[in-house]
A = this chain, B = another copy of it.
Amino acid sequence: MAEPGRKTLRSWRRLERSYALVHGRLEEALKSQGLPPLLWLRALEEFARCGEDGLRPFELQDALGLEQPAVSRLLEKMVGAGLLNRTECQDDRRGWRVAATPLGAETRERMAVAYTDALSAHFLAHLGEKQARALDEILGDLLESAGPADG
C-alpha cells in the first residue's frame, strides 16, 4: 500500500465534516418545523415505493441498512404516531405486514418538501452544478467499489 498523500487523507476528513455539518442542518430544519427526524422520511419513502400491501419489517431493515431492533422500535413509534399500520401476515404468522396510512403519505410529502428545501439551502446552494455531478460520480464509484462486501 502506497503512502497516502496529505490531500488524500484530508479528503476523508472533509467528507466527515461535510456530512456532519449538512446532516445536522437537515435534522434541525425538520425539527424546527415540528417534523420527525430524517430516518422517518427514509422509511416513508420505502413505503411509498412499495405497493398497497406494504413491507415486512425485515424488508425495511434491508432497505434502510438498520439493525433489527432499530427497525422494531422505529415501526413501533411510527405506528403509534398513526403514520403506519400493521396487519397480521397471512402466509407467515411470525411476522407482520406494515403499510403507510393516509397520514403517513401526507407526512412523507411534507417532510420531502422541508427536506428538499433544506438540502438546497445548506448543500446544493454551496455547490456548482458541475461539482455536484462530480461528487455524484466519484461517490457512486466509491460505493460500487467499496460496497457491502468491500468489493
Contact = CB atoms under 8 A, between A and B. Distances in A.
B16 A19 contact: yes
Contacts of A141: 126-127, 131
Given A10-B136, A11-B135, A127-B142, 15 more contacts: A1-B117, A4-B119, A4-B124, A8-B127, A8-B129, A11-B127, A11-B136, A14-B135, A14-B143, A15-B18, A15-B19, A15-B135, A22-B146, A126-B141, A126-B146
Identical subunits present? 2
A15 B15 CA distance: 8
Contact of A139 (B4, B18, B65, B119): B18
6 contacts: A16-B19, A18-B143, A19-B19, A123-B142, A126-B145, A127-B141
